[in-house]
Amino acid sequence: MEFDPNEHQHLRYNPLRDEWVLVSPHRLKRPWSGQVDKPQEEEIPPYDPHNPLCPGNIRSNGCRNEDYKKTFVFDNDFPALQEDVCKPPESGDPLFQVAPAAGQCKVMCFHPLSNVTLPLMSHQEIVEVINKWITVMQEMMLSFKWVQIFENKGAIMGCSNPHPHCQIWASSYLPNEARLSDRNQKQYYEKFGRPMLLDYASKESKSGKRTIVENKHWIAVVPYWATWPYQVLLLPKRHVMRLTDVTEEEKDSLAKAMKLFLTKYDNLFQVSFPYSMGWHGAPTGADLETDTNHWQLHAHYYPPLLRSATVRKFMVGYEMLAQPQRDLTAEQAAEKLRNLPIEHYKTSFKKTGAL
């Protein structure tokens, strides 16, 4: 019998995390008696006088938001990282290590209206978001080793507020994910003399099997080693180390790529697709002066949904105790997303009155 990756179980290697994922496509044939129906989507009002992220409203700390018309950035009123705090004494015990942590946390609203998420925004509004990400990065990267831009979207992801927003946490240290990614990209660069993810982007572009959206400057794929069913890796096709290095033309086509694949995300289960996403680029602060050529800018999208708007994948059991496992292959997930309409279901519903 010949090996068929859509039929036969196998392990796939994630070179960014130096870990393996178990792929078991034969399990897709098992009967499913769980919930598959689409629940009524909660209508989010464009403005809520009690929402602390809306323009002109008062936040928990008593500050009033600007009456913003585009994006709006403010210091998180409940920051997980602060700048001038007491440092812990060294422990000297290998089993009870402790290290100082300093940082800054900001919140960024994408749009003045609470019901306008990224895929529903105009091209220019998405460009505004990208520009603001870059401005905040430029400012925070001078003082901090790592600036993590992340969007936690949807109540299912524990997001506390439906208003379209992201957070930016800047830290004096490299967080775990960044440390892993830095080490593995460096090892690949030392071995092959090229940035790992630049090679990856070019191989994915040639194959097309896992591509969802591709344009002149960007490619969005379900990565070969994806653990979440509809995970996406978005990356530039030329060597770009940081978000602050993208050109005007690249910003423009990034906005187009985001609009397209985020629309497909929403269209998959006809719901505002929940996920956690974040940008990873070369470390900053003192590392702005070091050689970080092994880095390639990229964004990870980790959506939890599996079968419907409510049926999610849990990373529990074998995943927690042994290693990640998936049924649907990355190629099957990519094909599903690729074949979805490019018009948002809410827009087509408005036009035709039917889904």
Contact 27, 302 (CB under 8 A): no
For residue 263, list its beta bridge partners.
none
Q: Which of 104, 114, 117, 152 binds ligand H2U (CB under 6 A)?
A: 152
Contacting ligand H2U within 160-179 (CB under 6 A)? 160-161, 167
* Residue whose CB is less far from ligand H2U, 72 or 265: 72
Long-range contacts of 78-84 (CB under 8 A, 24+ apart): 79/103, 79/104, 79/105, 80/105, 80/169, 81/105, 81/169, 81/170, 81/171
Q: For residues 169-178, b (16+ Cβ closer than 10 Å) or e, as one string?
A: bbbbbbeeeb
Using CB under 6 A as the binding rule, whether residue 52 contacts ligand H2U is answered as yes
Using CB under 6 A as the binding rule, whether residue 60 contacts ligand H2U is answered as yes
Tokens of 144: 């901090």
* Residue whose CB is less far from ligand H2U, 20 or 68: 68
Q: Which of 24, 76, 172, 293 binds ligand H2U (CB under 6 A)?
A: 76
- In the numeric block, the tokens 């506390």 are attached to 160
Q: Which of 19, 24, 48, 59 binds ligand H2U (CB under 6 A)?
A: 59
For residue 208, list its beta bridge partners.
none
Per DSSP, the three-state class of 300 is strand
Positive or negative, the CA dihedral 76, 289, 16, 317 is negative
**250 in the Ramachandran plot: left (φ > 0), alpha (ψ -120 to 50) or beta?**
alpha
- In the numeric block, the tokens 């967080």 are attached to 175
Contacting ligand H2U within 93-122 (CB under 6 A)? 107
Contact region with ligand H2U (CB under 6 A), list: 75-83, 135-143, 191-199, 279-287: 75-83
- Cβ at position 351, least distance to ligand H2U in Å: 32
Using CB under 6 A as the binding rule, whether residue 51 contacts ligand H2U is answered as no
Q: Which of 165, 217, 294, 298 is catalytic?
A: 165
Is 165 designated active site? yes
Report DSSP state, residue 224: T
Beta strands, E only, 157-201: 165-171
* Residue whose CB is less far from ligand H2U, 144 or 188: 144
Q: Which of 67, 77, 83, 249 binds ligand H2U (CB under 6 A)?
A: 77
Per DSSP, the three-state class of 152 is strand
The residue count for binding ligand H2U (CB under 6 A) is 12
- Cβ at position 162, least distance to ligand H2U in Å: 8
Per DSSP, the three-state class of 139 is helix
- Cβ at position 57, least distance to ligand H2U in Å: 9
* Residue whose CB is less far from ligand H2U, 167 or 187: 167
Contact region with ligand H2U (CB under 6 A), list: 154-162, 203-211, 218-226, 299-307: 154-162
The C-alpha R_g of the chain, in whole angstroms, comes to 21
Contact region with ligand H2U (CB under 6 A), list: 74-82, 134-142, 211-219, 232-240: 74-82
Cα separation, 116 vs 347, in Å, equals: 12
* Residue whose CB is less far from ligand H2U, 64 or 69: 64
Terminal C-alpha separation, the chain: 43
- Cβ at position 77, least distance to ligand H2U in Å: 3
User: Which residues are identified as catalytic?
Assistant: 165
* Binding residues vs ligand H2U (CB under 6 A): 52, 59-60, 76-78, 107, 152, 159-161, 167
